[in-house]
Amino acid sequence: MNNPYIKSIPVNLFSGIFNTTVHFINGLNLISGVNGTGKTEVLKLLKTDQAIIESGDSGKTKVSELDVFPISPKRNTEKKAIDAITQEIRTHNKSTKTFEDAIRNLQIKDSGFENYPTFGELFVLAYEKVMTDSGGTGYKTAVEKIQEDFNSVLKKVFLEYKIVAEWIQTNSQKAGHLKLQIQKYSLDPIDHEYLSTGEREVLALLFSIYTAKDNQDIYLIDEPEVHLNWNLEKGFFEFLDWFCNEFKKQVVAVTHSRVVFSPKFYEKTQFFVWKNKHIISQKEVAEEQKKAISGETVEIIYLTKSTKPIVFVEDQTQKLFIDRIFEGQAEVSVCGNKGVVRAMFTRMGDGENLYFLRDGDNEEPEFSKENFIHLQKYCIENYLFATIQVLSQSLKKSEDDIKGKILSCLKNINIDRNRRVFKELAVKSDASNFPFEVIDYFDVSDKFISMFSSEYNVTKNDLIEGFINKAKELNRLNDIFGEITSKISFNDDSTT
């Protein structure tokens, strides 16, 4: 391979806790590790001139001289019919060139995503380019050419999928429209927009990478497995490996996928792990580190044998709530963050007796299935402060006293600009006119609940347990936690 690629990057993150040089190979590179080991931060650094490159035949010496495609695939799919896609492309004069130009401004993001085209849009852009480049090829020929090209890529990793595209000519010689479908398992083809979220995502991601191949040197991808079930996930990593070899490209992907432990990909993976209170990068990992990295997969094997409801949660606090609400009658698996909860849902969301819980975070629900519980409040701790009557009885304090302490904490807490409005509102109010319902949208999970607990000389866990016990005593458990208790069901032999 004589293509340019990143050889290494000096890293100094988290006040020296992660201080080393990370090395890369020419081709597919995977970075794995537990949360909080700086994987995404390193990915961001690779788009800067701090990275050391091997110029190959290009003669370029800096990353800024290369073409780098950074991708944060966070549910970046639209469900849009092909006619609407075609109209939008023509109205806004979109082309493969405008897509390639937009890549230069993309960045790796911790949250949210940078837009890249959907599969349908990429297909239309591709055959429009054939029309432009040829100067005389008709739509029917152009569509057939792109169908053949795209299918040659698709079959490399998804043998059971086939693109079925047809140009439908109308009476007018110049008029017509595209019919774009996907055939799976030799069944009747379906319109592309009726694929699942994971299928639409993987096709958009796969063909965004493929379409940009002629003008991009390096691809940086943050957690490509998000929203993919295991078959799609494994297939996509197979595609990345084939793509690097076929087109002489470098891909660096951060991942939580268990695919890193398969022999084919293990040799392409480096692991960011904690050692002696520092983060290091290493090629081999011990068994305990493997369990830490892929712990949820190991735990699934055990949990799926249980006859109890299994609830995947973000953290230990959510686990405490579920344990106390259901008196230990539900199995609870701590995933570490909402991203892992989402990933687990995409892998196992159709499983029987499995539930997935995440905080609201003032975000719109991502999935509509009943077993994915996206809380309406900012976080699960907000339930304590949304029902002041129960909280006051559990602490044996008056409601006025509780309200006063809430306002005091809001006035004295140091918060970022996104929550400043809550503090300013508290400063300008008193217990008689403060709209306590707005607390639902305030993140009380960190400093706030610690301050509040200390006011009453109790721990956070004692505060939670006391509240839930009092809610049960007052027969208000379902009233307060209805969006949880109404969705998690029990067999007759495991009810509380």
Q: Residue 136 has what DSSP assignment?
A: S
Question: Residue 61 domain-assigned?
Answer: yes
Could you read off the pLDDT of 197-234 as tens digits, one per residue?
778 888 888 999 999 999 899 999 998 887 676 677 88
Q: In the beta sheet, which residues pair with residue 23?
A: 8
For residues 228 and 353, membership in a common domain is answered with no
For residues 479 and 331, membership in a common domain is answered with yes
For residues 128 and 30, membership in a common domain is answered with no
For residues 244 and 310, membership in a common domain is answered with no
Question: Residue 72 domain-assigned?
Answer: no
Question: Residue 361 domain-assigned?
Answer: yes
Question: Residue 240 domain-assigned?
Answer: yes
pLDDT exceeds 90 at position 398: yes
Distance CA 330, CA 230 (A): 25
Q: How far is CA 358 from the centre of its chain?
A: 13
DSSP secondary structure string for all residues of 236-267 = HHHHHHHHHHHHT-EEEEE---GGGGSHHHHT
The answer to which of 4-18, 76-90, 409-423 has the lowest mean pLDDT is 76-90
* Angle, alpha carbons 113-336-196 (nearest 5°): 45
Instruction: With H, G, I as helix, E, B as strand and everything else as coil, classify residue 398.
Output: coil
CB distance 476 to 469 below 8 Å: no
Question: Residue 108 domain-assigned?
Answer: no
Token pair 């988290």 is at which residue?
14
State the CATH number of the domain containing residue 31: 3.40.50.300
Last residue within a domain, chosen from 290, 319, 336: 290
For residues 395 and 331, membership in a common domain is answered with yes
For residues 489 and 389, membership in a common domain is answered with yes
For residues 315 and 425, membership in a common domain is answered with yes
Q: How confident is the model at residue 194 (pLDDT cuts 50, 70, 90)?
A: confident
Number of domains within the chain: 3
For residues 338 and 238, membership in a common domain is answered with no
Question: Residue 107 domain-assigned?
Answer: no
Q: How confident is the model at residue 491 (pLDDT cuts 50, 70, 90)?
A: low
Last residue within a domain, chosen from 181, 207, 233: 207
Q: Tell whether pTM > 0.85.
A: no
For residues 187 and 57, membership in a common domain is answered with no
Higher pLDDT, 10 or 78: 10
Could you read off the pLDDT of 73-122 as tens digits, one per residue?
754 445 666 667 677 777 767 776 777 677 776 766 555 455 678 888 89
* Closest CA relative to residue 385, chosen from 320, 478, 464: 464
Last residue within a domain, chosen from 290, 306, 335: 290
Distance CA 306, CA 159 (A): 34
Give the count of alpha carbons within 13 A of 75, CB side only. 10
Instruction: With H, G, I as helix, E, B as strand and everything else as coil, classify residue 319.
Output: helix
The per-residue pLDDT for 229 is 67
Range of the domain at 20: 1-66+217-290
Higher pLDDT, 37 or 174: 37
Distance CA 71, CA 7 (A): 20
Among positive and negative, which fits the CA dihedral 419, 422, 425, 427? negative
Question: Residue 353 domain-assigned?
Answer: yes
* Closest CA relative to residue 276, chosen from 12, 22, 15, 17: 17
For residues 333 and 267, membership in a common domain is answered with no
For residues 306 and 336, membership in a common domain is answered with yes
Which residues in 320-445 belong to E strands, given as ranges? 331-334, 354-358, 372-374
Question: Residue 109 domain-assigned?
Answer: no
The per-residue pLDDT for 257 is 86
For residues 184 and 230, membership in a common domain is answered with no
pLDDT exceeds 90 at position 4: yes
Instruction: With H, G, I as helix, E, B as strand and everything else as coil, classify residue 403.
Output: helix
Q: Residue 441 has what DSSP assignment?
A: G
Alpha helices in 272-397, H assignment, sequence order:
287-293, 295-303, 316-325, 338-348, 382-386, 388-395
Neighbours of 291 (CB within 10 A): 13
Identify the burial level of 47 via C-beta atoms within 10 angstroms of its C-beta, where 0-12 means exposed, 13-18 middle and 19 or more buried: buried
pLDDT exceeds 60 at position 493: no
Higher pLDDT, 299 or 200: 200
* Closest CA relative to residue 181, chosen from 170, 195, 171: 195
The per-residue pLDDT for 172 is 58
